Amino acid sequence: MKISLIQMNSVSDKPANIAAAAKLMEQAVAEERPDWICLPECFDFLGGDRKAKMVAAETFPGGPAYAAMQALAKKHQVYIHAGSILEKPETGERIHNTTVVFDRAGREIARYRKIHMFDITAPDGTKYHESAAFAPGSAIVTYNCEDMIVGCAICYDIRFPDLFQALVAKGAQMIALPAAFTLQTGKDHWDVLCRARAIETQAYICAPAQNGTHVAGTETRQTYGHSLVVDPWGHVIAKASDGIGIVSARIDLDRVKKVRAQIPVAQHKVRFD
């Protein structure tokens, strides 16, 4: 299976972001002919204050980002793992950071709401309080993509190995990780964490990322980019340069089987009470 990851510089202009995503995906289809395309976290809207996020959020199905991705999947007969989209809540005042996945016919086949909220203070003192605007999900989500099982995670989830082990327990052979990693944490932790999760799970990690600057409230923030694909042995087999673009790779399920047979960690697990 051939996959393509889309690296973007989304900002607080939803129509422009959707148009940019569609253009890059059309380019990927024309140049790479992938079976599966994945967008970064918050590809539809990144930045703005809490009020702006609520205005930009949409109800599924039928919102502009949802509809655009559904149409592209159907048009090109390709699986689209639609990074994450701001989703209006059914109740309450906090939105969800939500992945939606479409099959080749444009049917929704999976929906994952980001579980772990990015509430941290960066090394430069910048405070991130994702839970102020976003409500966490709770469901562990996988889906079938041809003969492969794909697990869902988003950005900060990568720091929680238990989630990735739970995805593997549900059969995941590849895990999608759309992200908007900060520049400060990304330069030190991004590659290491992606490789660690791949080695631990013996699964492919496919991580499209945001790259560049955006304005959040009164602050200008930078994302790290470096979208990458890591194989089950922990090798980075594809990686994007700085800037907006596309990176592609081939996924080999025999590679997953071989690695898991060589080091059968699933058989060696010990349960600690």
The Cα-based distances of 269 to 59, 78, 196, 264, 266 in angstroms read 41, 37, 17, 9, 6
- Tokens encoding 49: 């204050």
Catalytic residues: 41, 114, 155
- Tokens encoding 217: 């409230």
Q: How many CA atoms lie within 13 A of 247 on its CB side?
A: 22
The region, left, alpha or beta by phi > 0 then psi within -120 to 50, assigned to residue 267 is alpha
What lies within 8 Å, CB to CB, of 58 at 6+ separation is 44, 64, 65, 66, 85, 86, 87, 88
H/E stretch holding 28 reads: helix 14-32
d(CA 125, CA 233): 36
Three-state secondary-structure class, residue 80: strand
d(CA 118, CA 165): 20
Pair 18, 44: CB distance under 8 Å: yes
Minimal CA–CA distance to 4: which of 207, 194, 170?
Answer: 207
List phi, psi (to 5°) of 18: -65, -40
